[in-house]
Amino acid sequence: MTKTYDVAVIGAGVFGAWTAYWLRRAGAEVLLIDAYGPGNSRASSGGESRMIRLGYGPDEIYTRWAQRSLDLWKKLFEEAGPQTVSLFQNTGILWLAREQDPYCEAVLTTLQRTGTRFEKLDRGELVHRFPQIDPGQATWGILEPDSGVLMARRAVQAVVAQARGISVDYVQARVTTDSRINADRLVFACGPWLPKIFPQLLGELIHVTRQEVLFFGVPAGDERFGPPAMPAWIDFNDLVYGLPNLDGRGFKLAIDAHGPEFDPDNGERVVSQAGLTAAREYLAQRIPALADAPVLETRVCQYENTSNGDFLIDRHPEFDNIWIVGGGSGHGFKHGPVVGEYVTAMINGTGTPESRFSLATKQRVQSREVY
């Protein structure tokens, strides 16, 4: 007889993996399904690294979620064993701010209000402490000393391994609306595949964009571009971020501006010449010593963007037993543990709904507000 589950979670990315984990911890019989496998190269949760920062401008909910998520990530890695402890790298996160900078000022206010450790640095301190970074138009900065980088692909695989260790069943299979799954409730945490599975509902509400990432080689024996000398950093005004040399993979640079529409199944994952040129031009300005650094590897991933960047976590409007979880919008990875907690509480009837995650708040016109 085919087993019947309390909940089937479709999508073993960061949202789906943590949701399956918490549902099982709450006593549910859980099936986790993914088309390509945890941390695969097509997934938004794939790739080597993702920042976990606490600053979110005025959006205190995301700062508090990031704080709790950081604790839960570290706890899971400790429980999983010594081979996973290094999946969080405490590099610190540096914000580069300009003279008139409402967003970074809001970051300061929110970090103060939430009791988060930080340092405010003037331009002189930026230059003294991080001489390898040319501050350019930045006149001050914010350092989050407790933040850092999650080793994304392996972190997702670790969550799935821990979930399977507490008897979550996992299968690799493609799921469509015609698939038969023996479960009382379904959670679709499919990231960029959500508009494909629910085209009429989400086809105009979630926009999947192509995002390019490049890794540049650092000079042999040069420790300036790895932790602790270099933190991960964000140039919010130019929508660029960089990660230090981790695991010998090179210095990572990515432009955070939304790219063109992208198909996660069939899109070619080759960096464009225009993307390479833009990255090199920025690198020459911000990290002059790496202006001529060789490209070691590149990646094309994708964001699945809601209209303003808020998550989408809500019931399907026509089916009470179906939940939709997605809209990571390029910043969601870090929040996986708390997204999973939230979904579990909502399914079990013990949670308080957050209106900004509702389907009703999602619009067709893109107007990014959450970064």
Residue 1: pLDDT band with limits 50, 70, 90: very low
Model pLDDT, residue 272: 97
Residue type at position 14: V
Identify whether the C-beta of residue 168 lies closer than 8 Å to the C-beta of residue 183.
no
Per-residue pLDDT for 267 more than 70?
Answer: yes
Residue 26 has pLDDT above 60, yes or no: yes
pLDDT band at 178 (very low <50, low <70, confident <90, very high): confident
Show me where the domains of the chain are located: 5-46+152-205+308-361, 88-148+207-304
Q: pLDDT value at position 35?
A: 97
Predicted confidence at residue 177, as pLDDT, reads: 80
207-225 tens-digit pLDDT:
999 999 999 999 999 999 9
Taking residues 259-284, what's their average pLDDT? 97
| Class level of CATH domain 5-46+152-205+308-361 | alpha beta
Mean pLDDT calculated for residue range 291-315: 97
Check pLDDT > 80 for residue 306.
yes
Report the pLDDT value the prediction gives residue 2, as an integer from 0 to 100. Answer: 79
Q: What percent of the chain has pLDDT over 90?
A: 98
Handedness of CA 245, 72, 55, 204 (dihedral sign): positive
Instruction: Identify the pLDDT of residue 176.
Output: 85
Distance separating alpha carbons of residues 207 and 321, to the nearest angstrom: 25
Mean pLDDT of the 328-345 span? 98
Q: Tell which residue, 331, 126, 359, 327, has the closest CA to residue 241.
A: 331
Q: Average model confidence (pLDDT) for the chain?
A: 97
Q: CB count, 10 Å around CB of 153?
A: 20
Top CATH class, 88-148+207-304: alpha beta
